[in-house]
Chains A and B, each alone.
Chain A
Amino acid sequence: MAENTILASSRLFAGVSAQALAALEGVCVQRVFAVGAVIINEGDPSPPVDLIFEGHVRVFRSGNDGREQSFHVLGPGEALNLVPAFDGVAVSASTVTALTDARLGRISGTTFRRVVSQNPELSLAVMHYMAERLRHVSGLAAELALASVPSRLASFLLSQFSEEADGEVRWTREQMAARIGSVREVVSRTLSEFKSAGLIDIDRDRIILLDTERLALLAKV
Chain B
Amino acid sequence: MTTVLLPWIDKARCTGCGSCAEQCPDKIVTMMDDTPSFGDVRACSYCGLCEDICPTGAIALSFRIIGFSENQ
Contact = CB atoms under 8 A, between A and B. Distances in A.
Interface string A164-188: 0101111111100000000010001
Contacts of B43: none
A184 B51 CA distance: 10
A206 B63 contact: yes
B28 interface: no
A212 interface: yes
Given A206-B71, A208-B71, A167 B51 contact: no
Interface residues of B, number: 19
A207 B66 contact: yes
A170 B8 CA distance: 12
A129 interface: no
Nearest to B8: A172
Interface in B26-64: 45-46, 48, 51-52, 57, 60-64
B62 A170 contact: yes
Label chain A's interface by main secondary structure.
mixed
B17 interface: no
Contacts of A165: 65
Contacts of A14: none
Contacts of A170: 62-64
A73 to B, nearest CB: 11
B68 A210 contact: yes
Contacts of A205: 5, 46, 61-64
Interface of B: 5, 8, 45-46, 48, 51-52, 57, 60-68, 70-71
Given A173-B61, A184-B57, A203-B71, 5 more contacts: A165-B65, A174-B60, A205-B5, A207-B64, A208-B66
Interface of A: 157, 160-161, 165, 167-174, 184, 188, 201-210, 212
Per CB-CB distance, the 7 closest pairs between chain A and chain B, nearest first, are A170-B62, A172-B60, A160-B65, A167-B66, A204-B46, A205-B5, A207-B65
